[in-house]
């Protein structure tokens, strides 16, 4: 390593420590939603030949990112890894490789620290092999008490809301209820309880990498009062300093919750 690189690394480390020291634990988000974006672009910019190189680089970044969150005391992270639009719109070969990468990722982080892993998404759009791997990890980590990690795979916010309403109707019908009765009891809380994330807190902060500034059908219901932070870096290139800047920005905001 050259002297210039050594100096740069030293300055970077000092800046990172200063950012961390400036964060008040009480002001940090409890639940972070992360839209993992830019993996394919990362591979394309490096002329690596296939998107799987980018997906693997992104998968390698995930445990590192989760450690950053865990070490700061964040209690829950929801990672948007694969949307329902991705499942229906990506080439079959790319999806096959991606399903295997995601399954391996879930197994790896399910064996790391005391993290609790949960799949949130539509089971029916995923291949049985991947679903079995996710179910096994979820079962194995069910009693863990550390960082709660939601893996949004085969996930779509609009589909989630539609599924929640269908679930409410079916449940109401099974008890002999009528449409009139249902109209009286239908409420935001009831719908929220029937989402894939029912019973879990809404995200305080949603981060998206790659410079794109849109939700892309991620947690549309749950993010009604979330704060948003957009990072220019492609996900595999995300640095801890980028993450700490997002935390600093969040702590400086005044959350109004619509008031």
Active-site positions?
Answer: 37, 86
Dihedral sign for Cα atoms in the order 14, 15, 21, 25: negative
- Token pair in block for residue 49: 């030949």
Distance of alpha carbon 60 from alpha carbon 66, whole angstroms: 11
CB 177 within 8 A of CB 145: no
Distance of alpha carbon 79 from alpha carbon 66, whole angstroms: 10
CB 212 within 8 A of CB 232: no
In three-state secondary structure terms, 149 is strand
Distance of alpha carbon 203 from alpha carbon 161, whole angstroms: 16
CB 159 within 8 A of CB 125: no
Burial label, 161 (beta-carbon count in 10 A; 0-12, 13-18, 19+): middle
CB 150 within 8 A of CB 79: yes
The DSSP string of 24-90 is: -GGGS-SEEEEE---HHHHHHHTT-SSHHHHHHHHHHHHHHHHHHHHHHT--EEEEEEEEHHHHHHS
CB 162 within 8 A of CB 220: no
């Amino acid at each position: 390593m050259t002297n210039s690189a050594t100096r740069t690394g030293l300055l970077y480390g000092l800046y990172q420590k200063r950012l961390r020291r400036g964060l008040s634990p009480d002001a940090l988000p409890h639940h972070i939603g992360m839209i993992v974006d830019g993996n394919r672009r990362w591979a394309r910019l490096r002329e690596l030949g296939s998107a799987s190189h980018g997906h693997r680089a992104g998968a390698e970044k995930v445990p590192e990112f989760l450690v950053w969150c865990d070490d700061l005391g964040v209690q829950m992270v929801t990672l948007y890894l694969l949307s329902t639009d991705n499942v229906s719109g990506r080439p079959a070969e790319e999806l096959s490789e991606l399903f295997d990468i995601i399954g391996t990722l879930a197994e790896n982080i399910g064996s790391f620290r005391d993290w609790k892993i949960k799949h949130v998404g539509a089971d029916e759009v995923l291949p049985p092999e991947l679903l079995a791997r996710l179910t096994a990890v979820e079962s194995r980590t069910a009693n863990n008490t550390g960082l709660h990690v939601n893996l949004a795979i085969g996930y779509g916010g609009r589909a989630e809301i539609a599924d929640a309403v269908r679930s409410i109707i079916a449940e109401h019908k099974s008890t002999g209820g009528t449409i009139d009765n249902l109209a009286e009891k239908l409420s935001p809380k009831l719908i929220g309880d029937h989402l894939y994330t029912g019973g879990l807190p809404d995200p305080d902060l949603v981060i998206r990498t790659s410079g794109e500034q849109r939700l892309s059908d991620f947690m549309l219901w749950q993010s009604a009062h979330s704060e948003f932070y957009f990072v220019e870096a492609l996900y595999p290139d995300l640095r801890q300093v980028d993450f700490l800047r997002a935390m600093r920005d969040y702590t400086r905001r005044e959350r109004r919750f619509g008031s």
